[in-house]
Chains A and B, each alone.
Chain A
Amino acid sequence: MKSDYIRIKNARIHNLKGIDVSIPKHRLTVITGVSGSGKSSLAFDTLYEEGKRRYLMFSDTQFMIDTVPGFDSITGLSPTVAVEQRIIRQSNPRSTVGTRIKISQMLAALFTNYGERDPAYDDGLPLDISMFQRGSARGMCVRCLGKGIASFINEDAMFADQNQLICDVACGLGRRGSTRNMLLEFGTKYGFDLWNSRIGDLTAEQLALLKYGDHGKSKFPGMIPWITMLTNGALSTSGRFGSILTENGMMMRRTCPKCCGTGLGEQAAHTTFHGKTITELENMYIRDLHKFFSAHDDGSNPLLAELCTKLSCMIEVGLFHLALSRPIPTLSGGELQRLFLASYIITEMDSIIFVFDEPTIGLHETEKENLIRIIRRLVDNGNTVVAVEHDENFMREADYIIDIGPDAGVSGGRKIYEGGFPEFLKCQGSRTAPYLTAEKGFPVKTAFRPVNRKKQLVLSHANIHNLRDVSTALPLGIMVGIAGVSGSGKSSLISDTLVPKLKEALKSKCVTGEAGSEPDGAAAKRDDQVENTPGAEEACDTAGLAEAASTALSGTVTSSQSGAPSTSLSGVEALRRCYVIDQRPIGRSRTSCPATYTGIFDRIRAMFAETETARERGYTAGMFSVNSTGGCQRCKGDGVIHYHVGFGNFIDITCDDCGGTGYVPEAMEVLLEGKNIRDILEMSVDEAKEFFADKDKTIDQLLGILKRVGMGYIQLGQATPTISGGESQRIKLAKELAKGKNTKDVLYILDEPTTGLSFSDSKRLLQLLDELVQQGASIIVTEHDPYILSNCDYILELGPGGGTNGGTVIAQGTPAELRKNPSSVIGRYLKTPAGSPE
């Protein structure tokens, strides 16, 4: 039976209330609704999962295990692909734009087959693709481990001052914890006094011993080896002690001498294509790389033609400003989706069902228009596109709207509307439609707080990445929006210039959420961490690599320092504290979740341990943690066993041992007012707030703030990998706010905080931010959303374009001023208050 619709009957997964929907084929359908209403359950967990399952079963590529379907029937399906932000987030930290879209492999193939080899390094054996992959142990430079840069200790500078006391060598290293103890012992053995001997007093032999140790006879390994170890040698890219030494000229980071900065082994490092190494090509902006290849494409090389096609697709989806070497974890959710979109455009298939998760996230208004055009082309080519989306313009472009709601969680999951856009505007039950009409609309600020020129941060000569000697002022005490198209330099200005400078000035009072930068006790911990080198090493091995890759390859090491006046920041004295709240995931462990991150889980476990049953049986709080005695042995607390079935697909089978709870049966038997620990973790913040209201003030308060930042729908136990960047950010913000500290003269730096939020949730978050400013806080928010920007007091716009076309401040002022400023790109997209004559 031929049908023009995909018909889903009685969809009931998660909170869906047995709904029937029809999605027109070869059309663009938008599913909308408030956060947590069940949009994703319909689009991803029902439509996509079933489409994928049927296609894979049909093509016989893998076995599938029948799980209980969350619907009665779906008809009209064709092969389905989805681009889900939460899935992509889990990618390997070392993967880059190039490796993800497989262009790096093609480049490697190009170099393997057509590379010109330096005769001095040509061993006569054929090149191998893996030799051009710096992520592989076969390809990576063994000196810098693929980073292209290596650090060196400047021994001469460190020991030059003959008058310095031994305890003062290397910025007073000898005065610190374990180094002090080792050096005292060492000094006694070799006849010098840590506190009173000067470098000039030592004999040549003593100096050599101090520098290089006595080959294991003493615990102290020698200054140079010890410092190498403390700064984690070549593996390190950050760390406080390392930066202190660097600032004092005792440590340098230079292009790796072995691989000349390519990060590759000898043969690959000395192979070029038209004069460029593979690393140089990977560091070029995609737009420039496309030009380079086009210039050399004479039609004779199929690889080159293919590369050009792929690159042009990436330019088309607006990723021209990225380099192939850009690490995937540093991309925004929107950029990620467009990266995938590019690969689909390349394949030129039709009759595919595409399911997108807010494709407009992170896009400037001008870029959205382009994206909508591309998606429209997919549809015109005969594909079906279903998108979960909050964006107004995207909805206006849709052929069909499905609204799920009305509210989140148990109060959602119903079909509120299904049909065309014009009728949707009249839909009374929808929480979305009213914001789209002129009568109500989204609230837009009309009175802007004045700028106090005495209270502002002044950044001078910002030059990192594509910034062109930017000097600008960021007013404090108000809400400042940073606007600009992707790649215009917003992040370079805020994350890469302002934040490091604030950190330098405020030290521990600038909290960035990075490991080891907590305000209290971090410094004290440092020596202990050093003592435990083997373990700490492990973590650095991988974390360091990825981090290093991003720094090295973006060229920050040398380019920013070459002759240009150095960057400076003033006005910091007006701030007491600064919180940088970004989109990085909360917690690193698989079992971390909002409850563990915010700390309420400790209280909940303690409450369980206090119950009569638990006390009788002698259970401690550990019984209620999957990371401790309470965790199911088989699934390690996941509740499911994860099987990889090929083609990047996983199947989760409920763990038989714990029945999917992740807990041992003993833990599940203990009840807190009728709820076991798993029940609690499955509660949404809204439900939990009701449950704990009269039980624990701290929990209640924290849940209240989570609600206010728009996270009422999230489950307490939702696993970190499934939490989006925007959600992570809001949870972090809630955690900071719940500490109840005085917010006066505190600066909050946010990055697209409303990502993934519906209009009504965005509105609530905006109110909260506004209250913060009212209480004396300052907010700097990097943002694309015209509604949020329209509600800032002041906007700083970078541009005009991305990459080499950006990097300057093109406009600044209140939203009202920007609307009238012809130099502003965002200005014409900013909202006017409802009923305003403009």
Chain B
Amino acid sequence: MTFSEKIDEYIRMKRYRLINSILFWQDGEVLAENYYNGFGAQSRNVLCSVAKSILSLAAGIALDRGLLPGLDTPVADYIPAFREGRDPLHPCITIRHLLTMSSGIYWNGGIHYHCPMMEQMRRSGNWLSHIADCTVANLPGTRHNYKEFDVILLTAVLEAVCGDLYDFIDRELYTPLGIRSGRWYKSPCGVYYSVGDGKDTDENSSNLTAREMLQFGRLCLDGGIFEGQRIVSEEYLRAATAPSDTDPGYGFLFWLGDDWYACRGYGGQRIHVFPEKRLLAVMQATPSSRGMAYDDVIWHGKELLEKLSHGNRDESLSP
């Protein structure tokens, strides 16, 4: 049995019916590329919060280009509603806090895009003004609290310095990587928000193919260089995938583990990077209301690969 078949067997055994694609890549070679539910190499699947990590690299590129002076620049410099003294802590919120989800802005609603706080924001006429009205519950930079508000503020900051944010991402990141995505959702009040307006059947969304997600993973693995071209500085990537002050399991919109870092989206969207093994795992799934995760497939694949020496994977896996 090949590695690919082993993975397939595992997914079937666990009855993971919502997984649409799984892809393992190591050191230049695709080891498994399985599709389910009628999906194929050209099929696009929602990114969900994987887009946060993409946004992180966009911020890195803006920093590299000098469009942003530094990570510790106050957000208020770019978003007028944060200069109006609505909260005494507003002047303290910096871009670094947005990247590490530690702005301190009050959040009570979990990690869903459909969460009640988001719904209230969507019904306000002006998203940024609404977020500026939210009380700041923690001193910025002291507590990690995963929330959409910080990401929305980051898109607004980037939009202020990069011009149209989607055009910027498409030009600086997607095109060099060969990624063809739909435009990101833009709210009526002019805020780009990659997960759209919260409706699952959103045409205007940031859907990618599994292969496109893999390219993004390769860029990260290779320290910001893709096929010889420098896309983002190695320095930024290193910082983005290092533990932040407020949460050792989170970098700059990247999730971190012992020997891996990852882009993770709701419902099982994953780009897992194992830098030392030069291993990448990509997974796409149809999100369900239960917010399932299938990370065990990735750990299982990694373990299988660890048992084998390079070159004779398929033979030694034969029954």
Give the interface of A toward B (CB within 8 A).
123, 125, 130-131, 136-139, 142-145, 150, 153, 212-213, 215-217, 221-222, 224-229, 233-235, 258, 265-267, 533-534, 537, 541
A-B contact pairs, 24 of them (CB 8 A): A125-B123, A130-B116, A137-B109, A138-B120, A139-B120, A142-B117, A145-B135, A215-B74, A215-B94, A216-B92, A221-B92, A222-B91, A222-B92, A225-B139, A228-B88, A228-B139, A229-B139, A233-B135, A235-B137, A533-B138, A533-B139, A537-B138, A537-B143, A541-B137
Partner of A138, one of B92, B117, B137: B117
Q: B30 within 8 Å of A by Cβ?
A: no
Closest B residue to A222 using CB positions: B92
CA–CA, A717 to B142, complex, Å? 39
**Residue numbers in A under 8 Å from B108 (CB-CB):** 137
> Do A265 and B120 have beta carbons less than 8 Å apart?
yes
Partner of B123, one of A137, A235, A267: A267
Question: Which chain B residues numbered 77 to 133 have a C-beta less than 8 Å away from chain A?
Answer: 87-89, 91-92, 94, 96, 106, 108-109, 115-117, 119-120, 123-125, 130, 133
B side interface size, CB within 8 A:
33
**Residue numbers in A under 8 Å from B119 (CB-CB):** 138
Partner of A143, one of B74, B133, B140: B133
Q: B136 within 8 Å of A by Cβ?
A: yes
> Do B137 and A123 have beta carbons less than 8 Å apart?
no
**Residue numbers in B under 8 Å from A136 (CB-CB):** 116
Chain B 52-80: CB-based contact to A (< 8 A → 1; otherwise 0): 00000000000000000000111000000
- Distance in Å from the Cβ of A486 to the closest Cβ of chain B? 35
**Residue numbers in A under 8 Å from B87 (CB-CB):** 228, 233-234
- Distance in Å from the Cβ of A550 to the closest Cβ of chain B? 19
**Residue numbers in B under 8 Å from A213 (CB-CB):** 91-92
**Residue numbers in A under 8 Å from B74 (CB-CB):** 215
Q: B134 within 8 Å of A by Cβ?
A: yes
> Do A142 and B135 have beta carbons less than 8 Å apart?
yes
Assuming A130-B116, A138-B116, is B138 touching A212 (CB within 8 A)? Answer: no
CA–CA, A459 to B106, complex, Å? 41
Q: B141 within 8 Å of A by Cβ?
A: yes
Closest A residue to B109 using CB positions: A137
Give the one of A212, A215, A227 with max B CB within 10 A: A215
> Do B135 and A144 have beta carbons less than 8 Å apart?
yes
**Residue numbers in B under 8 Å from A233 (CB-CB):** 87-89, 135-137
Closest A residue to B134 using CB positions: A142
> Do A143 and B135 have beta carbons less than 8 Å apart?
yes
> Do A143 and B72 have beta carbons less than 8 Å apart?
no
- Distance in Å from the Cβ of A83 to the closest Cβ of chain B? 32
Assuming A145-B135, A534-B138, is B116 touching A123 (CB within 8 A)? Answer: no
> Do B89 and A123 have beta carbons less than 8 Å apart?
no
CA–CA, A267 to B123, complex, Å? 9
CA–CA, A707 to B71, complex, Å? 65
Assuming A233-B89, A541-B137, is B123 touching A216 (CB within 8 A)? Answer: no
**What would 6 more interface pairs be, CB under 8 Å, given A138-B117, A138-B120?**
A123-B125, A137-B120, A142-B135, A222-B92, A225-B88, A228-B88
> Do A145 and B139 have beta carbons less than 8 Å apart?
no
**Residue numbers in A under 8 Å from B135 (CB-CB):** 142-145, 150, 233-235
- Distance in Å from the Cβ of B144 to the closest Cβ of chain A? 9
- Distance in Å from the Cβ of A736 to the closest Cβ of chain B? 36
CA–CA, A123 to B188, complex, Å? 13
Closest A residue to B115 using CB positions: A137
> Do A266 and B138 have beta carbons less than 8 Å apart?
no
Partner of A258, one of B73, B106, B133, B142: B133
> Do A137 and B89 have beta carbons less than 8 Å apart?
no
> Do B143 and A217 have beta carbons less than 8 Å apart?
no
Partner of B117, one of A137, A153, A221, A224: A137
Give the one of B96, B119, B135, B143 with max A CB within 10 A: B135
CA–CA, A828 to B209, complex, Å? 85
**Residue numbers in B under 8 Å from A130 (CB-CB):** 116
CA–CA, A354 to B173, complex, Å? 70
Question: Which chain B residues numbered 15 to 65 have a C-beta less than 8 Å away from chain A?
Answer: none
